[in-house]
Amino acid sequence: MSAMKVGAVVLTMGNRPEELRELLDSVAKQDGDPVEVVVVGNGSPLPALPEGVRTIELPENVGIPAGRNVGIEAFGPGGSDVDVLLFLDDDGLLPGTDTAELCRRAFADDPELGIISFRIADPDTGVTQRRHVPRLRASDPLRSSRVTTFLGGANAVRTTVFQQVGGLPDDFFYAHEETDLAWRALDAGWMIDYRSDMVLHHPTTAPSRHAVYHRMVARNRVWLARRNLPALLVPVYLGVWLLLTLARRPSKTALRAWFGGFREGWKTPCGPRRPMKWRTVWRLTRLGRPPVI
């Protein structure tokens, strides 16, 4: 059997040229057949990049999911020109040269595997933040397992998944777009793995550094539920997240933004509603994350 063809999509705002160059160098050093790379400038011009890297400059910032979708389509409809696509943050770095080969092997060995979530580690300390392990039992980041979602800037997707269930939800702009795709993929019968041996170095950051964080997180949480959950579970899921948000005691400013986003999620169109099957709910539950949390 011929080796799987691997491509990579890197989304950038053009403001980290040195980190982007280092990331691209790490992709170029991957073992096996070369990884074809597309860099998408999300509303910004791109710096000079290594020869052979394909570039797309978007006239405005369309958000993370829509920008990544542009990168997917650069590899043909649903990424069909390649078998696997890596999605890598522009300030990340692949410390190992075997990541692409590990992906090829994982997808070839498991025909049900649709998505792989990499382990994100701080380049200086080696620490993996708890929030970067996409499961509830996250105390041991070195344990690989089946999971129910994945990390947006450190993953690999079998392109057949996009061709079957579609891409990321454009209108989300930022936050929860990965879970939306993950739920649709799981509902179509695909599995998702967290692999601790596939590492992306990335500096430790807080998601709340983004000004729109609290509003987007709340709005998209409502959209996620409205789009994907059986009607009976929508109020349960959102009620649980409301209680969790209050338990974290955010600042008054953050809470005001969160409630504003929560209201927006109910009042605005969420895109097509395709509730998951109840057997998918059971599968999520067996995997340790029932879709009420």
Can you tell me whether residue 268 is helix, strand or coil? coil
Q: Do residues 159 and 190 touch, judged by C-beta distance below 8 A?
A: no
pTM for the model stands at 0.96
Q: What is the Cα–Cα distance from 104 to 153, expressed in whole angstroms?
A: 18
Q: What is the Cα–Cα distance from 31 to 146, expressed in whole angstroms?
A: 26
Q: Do residues 284 and 229 touch, judged by C-beta distance below 8 A?
A: no
Classify residue 41 by burial, with Cβ atoms within 10 Å: 0-12, 13-18, 19+.
buried
Q: How many of the other CB atoms lie within 10 Å of CB of 112?
A: 8
With a cut of 60, say whether residue 258 has pLDDT above it: yes
Domains and CATH numbers, the chain: 6-201 (3.90.550.10), 211-287 (no CATH)
Virtual CA dihedral for 51, 56, 59, 62, nearest 10 degrees?
Answer: -130
Q: What is the Cα–Cα distance from 139 to 78, expressed in whole angstroms?
A: 35
Supply the pLDDT for residue 293.
85
Token pair belonging to 250: 């955010």
Supply the pLDDT for residue 208.
54
| Residue type (1 letter), 258 | W
| Residue type (1 letter), 44 | S
Separation in Å, CA 33 to CA 69, 164, 194: 24, 26, 24
Percent of the chain predicted with pLDDT > 70: 98
Q: Which residue has the tokens 């998944």?
A: 161
Q: What is the Cα–Cα distance from 93 to 73, expressed in whole angstroms?
A: 24
pLDDT, tens digit (0-9, with 9 covering 90-100), for 59-83: 999 999 999 999 999 999 999 999 9
Q: Do residues 251 and 214 touch, judged by C-beta distance below 8 A?
A: no
With a cut of 70, say whether residue 209 has pLDDT above it: no
Token pair belonging to 21: 């160059």
Q: How confident is the model at residue 207 (pLDDT cuts 50, 70, 90)?
A: low
With a cut of 90, say whether residue 210 has pLDDT above it: no
pLDDT, tens digit (0-9, with 9 covering 90-100), for 100-130: 999 999 999 999 999 999 999 999 999 999 9
Q: How confident is the model at residue 137 (pLDDT cuts 50, 70, 90)?
A: confident
Q: How confident is the model at residue 49 (pLDDT cuts 50, 70, 90)?
A: very high
Mean pLDDT of 157-173: 98
Q: Do residues 61 and 47 touch, judged by C-beta distance below 8 A?
A: no
Supply the pLDDT for residue 268.
98
Token pair belonging to 9: 């999509």
Helix, strand, coil distribution of the chain in percent, nearest 5: 40, 20, 40
Parallel, antiparallel or unpaired: strands 145-147 and 191-201: antiparallel
